[in-house]
Structure 1
């Protein structure tokens, strides 16, 4: 199993794995969420993703993050 740690760190481990994977491919990883989800936005930032901005959908906004 690639994850060995506290389950509270599971999300960070997955995010770090994905970032490492795309870095090895020399690609960019984009993640989004509902713009009102402050906890997830903080999580993305804390895990090395760069906030790009908020963008409109039909009746709500999404926040876009990237890792290069």
Structure 2
């Protein structure tokens, strides 16, 4: 099904409205925040968990964050 993988590299800058303190390992926090926002944008069945979703084999969120 998914035999073609395209890779893109993005660079972005974030600016906080209020002071922000991040943990020592920031990658996990940023990945979680991006994943949450990304799922809100691409999820077709918002009431389902990924494991129970009928679309999870074709879902870009599931492919990137769950590994299906």
**TM-score when scaled to structure 1?**
0.34
Bigger radius of gyration among the two: 2
**TM-score when scaled to structure 2?**
0.34
Whose strand fraction is larger, Structure 1's or Structure 2's? 1
- Relative contact order: is structure 1 or structure 2 higher (C-alpha 8 Å, sep ≥ 6)? 1
